[in-house]
Amino acid sequence: MRKSLRLLASAALFSALSMGVDAQNLGINRNGAAPNARAILDLDVSGTSGNPYQGMLIPRMTAAQRLAIAGLGVAETGLWVYQTDNITNADATLNPATAHGYWYWDGAVWQRMSASGNGWKLTGNGNTNVANNYLGTPAGSNDDLYVRTTNSLAVNPAIRINANNGFTGFNMTAAPVEMVEVSGGVQVGNTATNTVGAIKHENTLPVPARFHYGNVDGTAAGWQRLENAETRYLNEQYCPIQLQCLGADGQAFTGDPNGGVVAAPPVGYNTPFPTGAGTVQILGHRVQYIFRGTELQAAGLCTGPITKFSFYVLTNDGTGCTPGLNCPDVKVDIRIGNTALTNFGAYVASQATPLPVSWDPAIEGQANAANVGGATGCAPGTATAFLLNTGWLDFTLNAPFNWTGGNVIIDVSWLRNTTVGSSPQVRVETLGYTASKWVRVNAGLNPSHGCTYNDNPLPGNGITGNTMDRPVTRWYGKVQSNGFGTPTTGNYLNYGGGLVLDTNAAPGAISDAAYRGPGTIRAMRAVYDGTTQLSDHVFDSYFDGEVAPEDMHAADDYTYVALPRLKEHLEKDRHLPNMPSRSEWEEHGTRPIGALQTGLWESVETQALYIAQLEQDLTTLEALAFGGVSSAEELDRLVAEVRSSRRLSEKQKLHLTNALRARYTKSSGTK
């Protein structure tokens, strides 16, 4: 049976002390209640009556006394004292780590408990007085504020606020020196309000438009792109390519001239020259092929005249036959023209029921077409007869076709009168759209040239279709040639847009009509080049025989060609003096604007000298041809002009001088 031991103590301290006989726990109270079984010491003041409530005082001591407690070890873990004074820093400022307050021994070192109410809480400090309550280091401590993820600041991200100026650094091991400083990259998302000065990255647009944007006016329309669209190359070697359009009769290919799919029989409708199969004896056929302008440009064809084109035939259709007797007797009418079509509609290989006519009828009128052989228009009686042999089959146009850069149609109308031959195959390419459309007449009908059934409806048993196959075609016209400049190492920018320099306060003051597209530069006022040399050395050298010292450098590159030698120079070099020749242009690349401007400036001044020379000599000739020399003064002036002429030879000068004197003698009556 458990019993309580009651001891009488001072009434000022407690009225009764209850303690279990087994000394398992101890209770101190005024009502004689047993101590709580779960507490080794139970202090209870609930029974205090007529006396003020009391607390408990633990040992109080100075920091020096706390540190003087000897023999502390693991056994003393949890020893608890209250320190009454502060230990300050060397500069006499408060050291929060050693301030007064509750301290406990953790088994190895003394640890300070945070002062009540000053700890950092997840819900805030609980006080709106920001002058006294804040998240940070105490005033006067001169300590930076750190927010870190681990104890190792040197290798882990942290937020550091400089104690001296409030500058904030992210992932910083050293104090930040700017208002915001980041060590590492910063990623900006797409979520932002329409606030002036806000920055976001637009990542919902297609890839070419994914830039950082800043808001300039606080509206949804106020987002302006921050980055430039150019690519910067630093100290890289580049070799500029100049694409030059050579003269006519260059070659360009749409499709692979050395490979590709073969248009095979027996059907063979997608070849331009089908014969049919079985008992078919008579066949009229027509096909149109679309060539998109972008394809021709990619092949290297330049806008301008196209003189002929070719298909590559893989079957020798003329072997073992005699023309006019048992040869295929092919009649072909071929035309080329511009078109607005980009394809022939939904792809259908072939069908007996005619498809809606979706090809371009504009080529019928020949208003925009160039014909191969025969008369203009679709005339079977005058169509050209061809014997198809293996290799490139050239079709020379009656007149060059002027390609302006758009889509082109080639139209082939075909008539075969015998069963000789086997659908001559051509090399073809397969595209991603319906580039070809064809129509033919079945056996049993009267011979019909292809161009006579182009309209809808077709003959009752006509067959029509379309395909993605198109003949590999060789084009003759102006083609591009790569000319390479000297490889250079340097820094440069590559920009795929156009550059507009505008002096107006409102952007876009230059109208859209003035913009000329990617790769162009347009300035509202003028574009200047630092190599421009404007000087008077041409006139100074001509009239004074010398140039000013400041013009010596510019004059070194100037060549004066006398008027009598000008024709010879032009005939031989085919360019003006002081202007680049075509070979120089192709070898060294495009000349700077300033260099061209200087050359033109010198050429204009030289031309002015030529005109002055001709006018001076013309005055002399007019005096000889239309009137006399009225005075000795006029005679002296004319003789002086003849002698100073830079165009006349010495023999010519002597002849004109004698003629002037003779005319003066005659007109004045002197001897």
Tens digit of each residue's pLDDT (9 = 90 or more) over 602-650: 888 888 888 887 877 777 777 776 776 778 888 888 888 888 887 787 8
- With contact defined as beta carbons under 8 Å apart, do 369 and 363 qualify? yes
Task: Tell me if 87 is assigned to some domain.
Answer: no
Strands (E), 99-202: 101-105, 110-112, 145-148, 158-161, 168-170, 180-182, 199-201
Residue 483: pLDDT over 60: no
Position 293 scores a pLDDT of 93
- Which domain does 441 fall in, by range? 248-479
The token pair that represents 13 in the structure block:
């301290």
Residues 520, 572, single domain; the answer is: no
Strands (E), 2-85: 4-7, 16-20, 26-29, 41-43, 60-61, 80-83
Q: Are strands 60-61 and 80-83 parallel, antiparallel or unpaired?
A: parallel
Higher pLDDT: 489 or 70? It is: 70
Element housing 538 (H / E): helix 537-544
Task: Tell me if 470 is assigned to some domain.
Answer: yes
Taking alpha carbons only, the member of 467, 483, 527 closest to residue 501 is 527
Residues 400, 543, single domain; the answer is: no
Report d(CA 193, CA 223) in Å as an integer: 11
Q: Rounded to the nearest 10 degrees, how much is the dihedral formed by the CA atoms of 67, 69, 70, 75?
A: -110
The token pair that represents 556 in the structure block:
């070194």
- With contact defined as beta carbons under 8 Å apart, do 249 and 494 qualify? no
Overall residue count recorded for the chain in this entry: 671
Local confidence band at 91 (pLDDT 50, 70, 90 cut-offs)? confident
Residue 544: pLDDT over 70: yes
Report d(CA 460, CA 403) in Å as an integer: 37
Query: What are the residues facing 83 on neighbouring strands?
Result: 61, 101
Look up residue 129 and give its amino acid.
N
How large is the average pLDDT for residues 203-207?
Answer: 78
- With contact defined as beta carbons under 8 Å apart, do 348 and 355 qualify? yes
Query: What are the residues facing 213 on neighbouring strands?
Result: 200, 225
Q: Collapse the DSSP code of 147 into the 3-class scheme (helix H, G, I; strand E, B; otherwise coil) and give the result.
A: strand
Position 397 scores a pLDDT of 83
Report d(CA 239, CA 266) in Å as an integer: 51
Report d(CA 156, CA 244) in Å as an integer: 58
Look up residue 495 and give its amino acid.
Y
Most confident range, picked from 1-15, 289-303, 570-584: 289-303
Residue 56: how many other CB atoms lie within 10 Å? 8
Position 445 scores a pLDDT of 47
Task: Tell me if 239 is assigned to some domain.
Answer: no
Task: Tell me if 601 is assigned to some domain.
Answer: yes
Of 55-59, 460-464, 660-664, which gets the smallest average pLDDT?
A: 460-464
Residues 502, 609, single domain; the answer is: no
Report d(CA 28, CA 46) in Å as an integer: 11
Position 279 scores a pLDDT of 42
Position 45 scores a pLDDT of 82
Environment class of 583 (CB within 10 Å of its CB; exposed 0-12, middle 13-18, buried 19+): exposed
Residues 283, 389, single domain; the answer is: yes
Measure the N-to-C terminal CA separation of the chain; round to a whole number of Å: 178
Position 103 scores a pLDDT of 93
> What average pLDDT does the structure give for the chain?
74
Higher pLDDT: 598 or 69? It is: 69
- With contact defined as beta carbons under 8 Å apart, do 273 and 415 qualify? no
Q: Collapse the DSSP code of 608 into the 3-class scheme (helix H, G, I; strand E, B; otherwise coil) and give the result.
A: helix
How large is the average pLDDT for residues 576-593?
Answer: 74
Report d(CA 590, CA 251) in Å as an integer: 25
Position 9 scores a pLDDT of 43
Position 588 scores a pLDDT of 64
Local confidence band at 352 (pLDDT 50, 70, 90 cut-offs)? very low
Position 509 scores a pLDDT of 54
Q: What is the CA radius of gyration of the chain?
A: 51
What are the angstrom distances between the C-alpha of 624 and each of 26, 635, 646? 150, 11, 20
Task: Tell me if 449 is assigned to some domain.
Answer: yes
Which residues, 6+ apart, have CB-to-CB distance to 388 below 8 Å? 273, 313, 315, 316, 317, 318, 328, 330, 421, 424
Residues 252, 363, single domain; the answer is: yes
Local confidence band at 517 (pLDDT 50, 70, 90 cut-offs)? confident
Report d(CA 644, CA 641) in Å as an integer: 5
How large is the average pLDDT for residues 349-368?
Answer: 50
Local confidence band at 459 (pLDDT 50, 70, 90 cut-offs)? very low
- With contact defined as beta carbons under 8 Å apart, do 35 and 25 qualify? yes
Residues 426, 568, single domain; the answer is: no
Higher pLDDT: 229 or 27? It is: 27
Task: Tell me if 437 is assigned to some domain.
Answer: yes
**Sign of dihedral through CA atoms 538, 542, 547, 552?**
positive
The token pair that represents 57 in the structure block:
């005082």
Report d(CA 661, CA 671) in Å as an integer: 11
The token pair that represents 627 in the structure block:
């009137």
Report d(CA 57, CA 629) in Å as an integer: 140
Position 67 scores a pLDDT of 93
Residue 375: pLDDT over 50: no
Position 291 scores a pLDDT of 95
Of 28-37, 81-90, 235-244, which gets the smallest average pLDDT?
A: 235-244
106 Ramachandran zone, left/alpha/beta (phi>0; psi -120 to 50) = alpha
Q: What is the largest CA-CA distance in the chain?
A: 178
Which residues, 6+ apart, have CB-to-CB distance to 262 below 8 Å? 314, 425, 427, 428
How large is the average pLDDT for residues 396-420?
Answer: 79
Position 77 scores a pLDDT of 94
Residue 452: pLDDT over 70: no
Taking alpha carbons only, the member of 137, 41, 44 closest to residue 96 is 137
Among 177, 198, 229, the domain boundary falls at 177
Residues 566, 583, single domain; the answer is: yes
Higher pLDDT: 603 or 264? It is: 603
Position 61 scores a pLDDT of 95
How many alpha carbons lie under 13 Å from residue 578 in its C-beta half-sphere? 24
Task: Tell me if 312 is assigned to some domain.
Answer: yes
Position 396 scores a pLDDT of 84
- With contact defined as beta carbons under 8 Å apart, do 498 and 521 qualify? yes
Environment class of 131 (CB within 10 Å of its CB; exposed 0-12, middle 13-18, buried 19+): exposed
Strands (E), 202-262: 212-215, 223-225, 231-238, 241-245, 250-254, 261-262
Residue 83: pLDDT over 90: yes
**Sign of dihedral through CA atoms 399, 400, 403, 407?**
positive
Residues 301, 433, single domain; the answer is: yes
Position 473 scores a pLDDT of 94
Q: Are strands 369-372 and 199-201 parallel, antiparallel or unpaired?
A: unpaired
Task: Tell me if 580 is assigned to some domain.
Answer: yes
Residues 335, 437, single domain; the answer is: yes
Local confidence band at 11 (pLDDT 50, 70, 90 cut-offs)? very low
Per the structure, the count of domains in the chain is 5
Residues 596, 664, single domain; the answer is: yes
Taking alpha carbons only, the member of 600, 645, 578 closest to residue 618 is 645
Whether the full predicted model's pTM is greater than 0.85, yes or no, is no
Position 274 scores a pLDDT of 72
Position 132 scores a pLDDT of 64
Position 78 scores a pLDDT of 92
- With contact defined as beta carbons under 8 Å apart, do 501 and 392 qualify? no
Position 357 scores a pLDDT of 47
Which residues, 6+ apart, have CB-to-CB distance to 638 below 8 Å? 619, 620, 623, 629, 660
Report d(CA 79, CA 58) in Å as an integer: 11
Residues 424, 377, single domain; the answer is: yes
Residue 349: pLDDT over 80: no
Report d(CA 266, CA 53) in Å as an integer: 116
Look up residue 203 and give its amino acid.
N
How many alpha carbons lie under 13 Å from residue 303 in its C-beta half-sphere? 7
Residues 555, 425, single domain; the answer is: no
Higher pLDDT: 15 or 87? It is: 87
